[in-house]
Amino acid sequence: MKKKTTNDLITTLAINCSLTKKKAKEIVNQTFLILSDLVKNNDEVLIANFGKFKTLIVTREEVILNKKQFKVITSKTVSFSPSQKFNKYFRGESNE
């Protein structure tokens, strides 16, 4: 499996949409910035036929020193759930 970079995405977008690489880079960067801001602000982002990004709050307990005290730690993480159509495409299944 070959790793693809943001630059690969920019190049593909530029070629497929007849854009300059500069314009494609601006579009890709803005798209990821907007997506990141929405998820950071706890918004769910649904991209039709692709999937849903959402923020999850994760809580865990850590034992402190004498094993009788616990420290509760909460943090944010991002979840992605692929759409059924994307899952079928990914698995090479027919969309019919």
- What's the CATH number for 42-96? 4.10.520.10
Instruction: Read off the pLDDT of residues 23-49 as tens digits, 9 standing for 90 and up.
Output: 999 999 999 999 999 999 999 999 999
What Å distances lie between residue 54 and 36, 49, 58, 62, 85, CA to CA? 10, 16, 13, 25, 19
Query: Would you place residue 52 in the very low, low, confident or very high pLDDT band (cuts 50, 70, 90)?
Result: very high
pLDDT computed for residue 84 by the predictor: 94
Distance of alpha carbon 84 from alpha carbon 72, whole angstroms = 36
Q: Would you say 50 and 82 are in contact if contact means Cβ atoms under 8 Å apart?
A: yes
The owner of tokens 């036929």 is: 49
The owner of tokens 């509760």 is: 72
The vertex-47 CA angle with 42 and 52, nearest 5°, equals 50
70/95: higher pLDDT: 70
Domains in the chain: boundaries? 1-41, 42-96
Q: Which of 29, 31, 32, 13 is nearest to 21 (CA)?
A: 13
pTM for the complete prediction? 0.73
